[in-house]
């Protein structure tokens, strides 16, 4: 008789964004004439950069010719892309990463969910609270949960590191030593960053405790302040304790194309076993390579033209972030993030719960954001807005919120 993986039953409720979609659909059905503006989900709205479009057309044409047609891509990615990545994202920043330490994939979500597979089921993991839900859910699915503690909304075997106003939304070293530590800066959902010195302290702490850091750098393109690392490999010793995840979604608008990569240094070992070899084995078994045309599109991101266009896209969204930040500040909201990140994290007014504020904004002004409590217990009383809308919608949304509270 077939039996299900009972770990799935431990996941509390449906995924955050499904709940939001359901509420928005219900609202639209009963208010068909109201324009809803979505600043909730972190999806981009601007079209792909021109350099990417040109590369896509060219590579599609190559697929139509006998001489240039390509079948299965190499498991770990085409060399042309891995070399372009290494040159710009690492060597230019003084990081010692080689092309064969890059694993090209279909994005950071799948890699961030799957990377736990190469570690023991017994591993204890530490996550920020609030957190990108994929880290927790994927570990719960894999059996690393214990019981769900309803009252604190936490799993007994997962260590939660509170990120709140008091610590500047930066996690502190936990009392228990975890085996795996998930860190993400610039952070989703809080929009917080930590300095390179703070990140160095995490690297030192992980090495001292033989822990592995899984560093999610999906938003590194949004860093403009100095003293913040774009990659954990800018820190001394990170090659001995860190795996890094990257995405083409938020810098170059690939949310619909799908492309990302994971870095695993060859010398990174646990109990003498190379994590690079384990991930190569896993990747080769479960994944047949990102499509050729998409990898060519990714390569175009690293051309001079592509880099300039990506910079423009990031500036466009960061201009939205500034509008949201200054508008909400003027209206008296307590806001953070939005400086080196496309997310704005605001305290709900009048001690409303996150979901009450969600319902209030949707009902009063037709604006959709994301309730902070959906990202973990320390997200309660907070709300996330994203800068990924169009400028026009962002302005209209913030003006509606500010006017409604006047």
Alpha carbons 20 and 292: distance in angstroms, whole number: 35
Q: Using the rule CB under 6 A, which residue among 109, 124, 144, 283 binds ligand PLP?
A: 109
Give which of 237, 236, 235, 240 is closest to 217, Cα–Cα. 235
Give the residue with the Cβ less far from ligand PLP, 193 or 365: 193
CB of 143 closer than 8 Å to CB of 157: no
The reply to whether 132 sits near ligand PLP by the rule CB under 6 A is yes
The answer to whether residues 235 and 217 touch, using CB atoms and an 8 Å cutoff, is: no
Q: Is 218 in the site for ligand PLP (CB under 6 A)?
A: yes
Phi, psi (deg, nearest 5) at residue 215: -100, 115
CB distance 203 to 241 below 8 Å: yes
Residues 391/320, Cβ–Cβ less than 8 Å: yes
User: What is the C-alpha separation between 317 and 326, in angstroms, rounded?
Assistant: 14
Q: Is 372 in the site for ligand PLP (CB under 6 A)?
A: no
> Residue 338 in contact with residue 321, Cβ under 8 Å?
yes
> Any contact of residue 262 with ligand PLP (CB under 6 A)?
no
The site that binds ligand PLP (CB under 6 A) totals a number of residues, namely 14
Rounded Cα distance between 293 and 174, Å, is 44
Q: Of these, 116, 249, 251, 386, which contacts ligand PLP (CB under 6 A)?
A: 249
| Residue 44 or 118 with smaller CB distance to ligand PLP | 44
Judged by DSSP in three states, 11 sits in coil
Residue 130 interacts with ligand PLP (CB under 6 A): yes or no:
no
Stretch that binds ligand PLP, among 105-113, 173-181, 232-240, 325-333 (CB under 6 A): 105-113
Establish if 251 lies at the interface with ligand PLP (CB under 6 A): no
**Structure tokens of 359?**
């319902």
Asked if 260 is part of the footprint of ligand PLP (rule: CB under 6 A), the reply reads yes
Q: Which of 114, 138, 145, 188 binds ligand PLP (CB under 6 A)?
A: 188
Decide: is 40 part of the binding site for ligand PLP (CB under 6 A).
Answer: no
Judged by CB under 6 A, which stretch of 201-209, 247-255, 315-323, 366-374 contacts ligand PLP? Answer: 247-255
Which of 52, 104, 112, 138 binds ligand PLP (CB under 6 A)? It is 112
C-alpha 219/C-alpha 238 separation (Å) is 19
If one asks whether residue 184 binds ligand PLP (CB under 6 A), the answer comes out as yes
Nearer Cβ to ligand PLP (217/275): 217
Which spans of this chain sit near ligand PLP (rule: CB under 6 A)?
Answer: 42, 107-109, 112, 132, 184, 188, 216, 218, 247, 249, 255, 260
């Amino acid at each position: 008789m077939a039996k299900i993986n009972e770990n799935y039953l431990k996941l509390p409720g449906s995924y955050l964004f499904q709940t939001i979609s359901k509420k928005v659909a219900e609202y639209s059905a009963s208010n068909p004439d109201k324009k809803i503006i979505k600043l909730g989900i972190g999806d981009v709205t601007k079209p792909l950069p021109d350099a990417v479009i040109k590369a896509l057309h060219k590579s599609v044409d190559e697929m139509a010719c006998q001489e240039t047609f390509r079948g299965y891509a190499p498991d770990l990615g085409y060399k042309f892309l891995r070399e372009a990545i290494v040159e710009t994202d690492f060597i230019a920043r003084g990081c010692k990463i080689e092309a064969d330490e890059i694993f090209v994939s279909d994005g950071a979500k799948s890699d961030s969910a799957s990377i736990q597979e190469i570690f023991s089921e017994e591993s204890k993991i530490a996550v920020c609270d609030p957190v990108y839900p994929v880290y927790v859910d994927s570990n719960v699915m894999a059996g690393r949960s214990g019981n769900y503690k309803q009252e604190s909304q936490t799993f007994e075997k997962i260590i939660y590191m509170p990120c709140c106003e008091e610590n500047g939304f930066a996690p502190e070293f936990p009392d228990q030593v975890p085996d795996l530590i998930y860190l993400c800066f610039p952070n989703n959902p809080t929009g917080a960053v930590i300095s390179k010195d703070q990140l160095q302290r995490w690297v030192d702490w992980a090495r001292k405790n033989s822990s592995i850091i899984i560093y999610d750098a999906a938003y590194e393109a949004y860093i403009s302040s100095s003293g913040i690392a774009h990659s954990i490999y800018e820190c001394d010793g990170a090659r001995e304790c860190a795996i890094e995840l990257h995405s083409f979604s938020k810098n170059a608008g690939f949310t619909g194309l799908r492309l990302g990569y994971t870095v695993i240094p060859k010398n990174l070992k646990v109990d003498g076993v190379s994590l690079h070899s384990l991930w190569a084995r896993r990747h080769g078994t479960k994944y047949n390579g990102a499509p050729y045309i998409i990898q060519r599109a990714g390569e175009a991101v690293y051309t001079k033209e592509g880099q300039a266009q990506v910079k423009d896209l990031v500036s466009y969204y960061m201009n939205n972030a500034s509008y949201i930040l200054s508008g909400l500040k003027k209206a008296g909201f307590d806001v953070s993030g939005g400086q080196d990140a496309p997310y704005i994290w605001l305290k709900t007014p009048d001690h409303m719960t996150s979901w009450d504020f969600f319902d209030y904004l949707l009902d009063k002004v037709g604006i959709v954001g994301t309730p902070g409590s959906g990202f973990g217990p320390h997200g309660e009383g907070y709300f996330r807005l994203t800068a990924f809308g169009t400028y026009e919608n962002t302005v209209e949304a913030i003006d509606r919120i500010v006017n409604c509270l006047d």
